[in-house]
Amino acid sequence: MSSEKDTGAAATGGADAASGGETRAAHVDHGVHTDPAALVEFSSAAEHEHAAATPSGAVTGYDARRTLPFGVELRRQFHRRRTHLVLGLAVVVPLLLVLAFELGSDDPDRRSGGFIDLATVSAPNFVVVTLLVSGSFLLPMVVALFFGDTVASEASWSSLKYLLAIPIPRLRLLRQKALVAGSLSVLALTVLPGVALLAGVIWYGADAAISPTGESASFGVSLVNLLLAVAYIIVQLSWVAGVAMFLSVSTDAPLGAVGGAVLATIISLMLDQITALEDLRVVLPTHHARAWTDLLAADVDWSAMATGAFTSLCYATLFGVLAARAFARKDVTS
C-alpha cells in the first residue's frame, strides 16, 4: 500500500508515465495511477457518444445471439494450463506405453491371448490397446475435466457474474461452454489415438490389425474401424459430460465437479463388477463402455454399441436438462 501511495504522489508529474520508458515501468509496476489526460479523453468520449437503444431495451449493437461466440470461449479456455496439461497427457500416454512395451519382457511364451499381447504387432493394434487401457479412467476423466470445470471455474474466479451481466442468456452461456468443452474433449479423444497411431506406425509399422482370434483387417480397413471406435467412445462418454456439467453448475468448486463426475464413473464401474445385478447392470452407463471392440471383428454386431450409445445419451440428456434447469434458476452469488 505504501508503495502505491509513493508512486501515486510521484506520478502527479507526468503524462509520460503511460507512454514512459519500459525500464521505468519495470521498476515501478505498482505505479498504478490514472493520467489526468486519460480522464479528459474518456470523459469527452463519453460526452460525444450516446448509444441508442433497441425496442427490446438492449443497447444498439447488442444481440443475445452473438454473445460469447465460440471462438472467444475457445480462446478463454484454450490458454489455460489445464487444457495444455490434458492435451499433453494425450500425447504422452501413448509414448509412455511404447516405452513400457519396449522395456517389458518380449517373451512370446507369456502371451495369454488378449489384445495386450498383440499390442506391438502393428500400429492399429497399438491404438486398440491404448484405447483399452485408457478407456476406464483416463478418457472419462478428460471429459469430466473439460465439462466439470467449465462453469465452476468461472464461479471460482468470480467472472461468471460479469459474463451473465453482459448479459449472456444463461442457457446460451451453458450451450457455448458445452460446445467448447465438447470440442476440447473431442480434440483430446482424437489426439490420444492419433498419437498412438503415429507412434505405432513408427515403432510397429503400418500393418494389418490382428485380433486375438487371428482375424486380420488390412491397415486401411482398421483405420476406418478405429475412427468408428473413437466416434463411439465420444458418444459413449456423453454421459460423463452430462453429469459433469450438472455438477459444474451446482457447485462453485471446480475440483468438486470434476471429482464428482469421476466418482460417478468409478461407482458405475464398481457396480458393473457385481454380476448378481444381472440385467440391471445394463442401465449402468459404463456397462457398454468397451462395446467398440465389436468393431474389430470382421462381422460387426452393432447392438451392444447401439445400446451403449442409447443409455449414454439418456443420461446425457437427463443430466443436461437438469443442468440447464438448475443453472437457469440459480441465484449466482459468487
Nearer to other proteins, 137 or 213 (CB): 213
Nearest approach, Cβ of residue 283 and other proteins (Å): 5
Written in H, E and C, the secondary structure of the chain is CHHHHHHHHHHHHCCHHHHCCHHHHHHCCCCCCCCHHHHHHHHHHHHHCCCCECCCCCECCCCHHHCCCHHHHHHHHHCCHHHHHHHHHHHHHHHHHHHHHHHCCCCHHHCCCCCHHHCCCCHHHHHHHHHHHHHCCHHHHHHHHHHHHHHHHHHHHCHHHHHHHCCCCHHHHHHHHHHHHHHHHHHHHHHHHHHHHHHHHHHHCCCCEECCCCCEECHHHHHHHHHHHHHHHHHHCHHHHHHHHHHHHHCCCHHHHHHHHHHHHHHHHHHHHCHHHHHHHHHCCCCCCCHHHHHHCCCCCCHHHHHHHHHHHHHHHHHHHHHHHHHHHCCCCC
Is 18 a binder of other proteins (CB under 8 A)?
yes
Number of residues that bind other proteins (CB under 8 A): 119
What is the footprint of other proteins within residues 177-216 (CB under 8 A)? 208, 210-216
What is the footprint of other proteins within residues 46-65 (CB under 8 A)? 46-47, 49-51, 53-54, 56-59, 61-65
**Piece in contact with other proteins (CB under 8 A), picked from 87-95, 177-185, 195-203, 301-309:** 301-309
Written in H, E and C, the secondary structure of 177-195 is HHHHHHHHHHHHHHHHHHH
Nearer to other proteins, 72 or 99 (CB): 72
DSSP β-ladder status, 209-210 and 216-217: antiparallel
Is 272 a binder of other proteins (CB under 8 A)?
no
Nearest approach, Cβ of residue 193 and other proteins (Å): 17
Which residue in 13, 29, 103, 106 binds other proteins (CB under 8 A)? 29
Is 263 a binder of other proteins (CB under 8 A)?
no
What is the footprint of other proteins within residues 125-184 (CB under 8 A)? 154, 157-171
Nearer to other proteins, 267 or 282 (CB): 282
Nearest approach, Cβ of residue 83 and other proteins (Å): 10
**Piece in contact with other proteins (CB under 8 A), picked from 40-48, 142-150, 188-196, 259-267:** 40-48
Nearest approach, Cβ of residue 215 and other proteins (Å): 5
What is the footprint of other proteins within residues 67-126 (CB under 8 A)? 67-69, 72-73, 75-76, 79-81, 112-115
C-alpha cell at 125: 493394434
Is 271 a binder of other proteins (CB under 8 A)?
no
Contact 184, 146 (CB under 8 A): yes
**Piece in contact with other proteins (CB under 8 A), picked from 41-49, 94-102, 138-146, 184-192:** 41-49
Residue bearing cell 451453458: 174
**Piece in contact with other proteins (CB under 8 A), picked from 18-26, 186-194, 222-230, 253-261:** 18-26
Contact 102, 119 (CB under 8 A): no
C-alpha cell at 262: 469421476
Nearest approach, Cβ of residue 43 and other proteins (Å): 4
Nearest approach, Cβ of residue 118 and other proteins (Å): 10
Which residue in 45, 105, 107, 109 binds other proteins (CB under 8 A)? 45
Is 16 a binder of other proteins (CB under 8 A)?
no
**Piece in contact with other proteins (CB under 8 A), picked from 25-33, 91-99, 138-146, 179-187:** 25-33
- Prior bond to 36 cis, omega within 30? no
Nearer to other proteins, 103 or 279 (CB): 279
